[in-house]
Amino acid sequence: MQVHGALVRVLGVGVLLEGPSGVGKSEIALELVTRGHQLVADDVVLIERGPDGHPEGSCPELIRHHVEIRGIGILDLVDLFGKEAVVERARIDLLCRLEQWRPGASYERVGLERPRRELLDDSLPALVLPVRPHMATLVEVAVREHLRRDATGSAAARLDARLRGEAAP
């Protein structure tokens, strides 16, 4: 399977950034690399089942380690940031669909239930993020929350339980 997007590894979590052309996927991937995370693929992400059956992504060899940034051009991230800035493949754990901010659109605000989407018959957490300034921060925080949610449940659920406990007689 091949998708148009960017795949980054943030804190060990593979995040597939999807969205229409020009929405900012490459710029967010680049900003995450500058923070010490790793690029797997930009523009074309090849997805297949890994040894454990979970979706994994990689990049076609011809464009591996490169990103295209409008206004700058093609960048080789190994040249700019070193070989630690890239990884050949990564398990895909989180889907982030980027879209232009739409006034009046409904976006998740509490997070009690994480929406999911199928990828190679595997159900993965899937977020829709409206593109705004500081998007790399939001992706990084989404990963931190994803890891925390797996370990201790969501902050929203913990707060909800606390509020229900305080509201109970």
* Catalytic member of 43, 54, 97, 149: 43
Torsion-angle region of residue 63: left (phi > 0), alpha (psi -120 to 50) or beta? Answer: alpha
Identify whether the C-beta of residue 5 lies closer than 8 Å to the C-beta of residue 17.
Answer: yes
Taking the C-alpha atoms of residue 126 and residue 2, their distance in angstroms, rounded to an integer, is 18
Cα–Cα dist 6/23, whole Å: 12
Alpha-carbon distance 126 to 155, whole Å?
Answer: 17
The catalytically annotated residue of 4, 35, 117, 132 is: 4
**Through-space distance between the first and last CA atoms of the chain, rounded to whole angstroms:** 55
- How many CA atoms are closer than 13 Å to the CA of 139, on its beta-carbon side? 36
**Catalytic member of 52, 70, 102, 109:** 109
Amino acid at 124: L
Neighbouring-strand partners of residue 73: 69
Given the residues 9, 25, 64, 146, the one annotated as active site: 25
**Residue 4 annotated among the catalytic residues of the structure:** yes
148 is catalytic: no
Beta pairing partners, 96: 17, 127
Please say if 109 is a catalytic residue.
yes
Question: Which active-site residues does the annotation give?
Answer: 4, 25, 43, 109
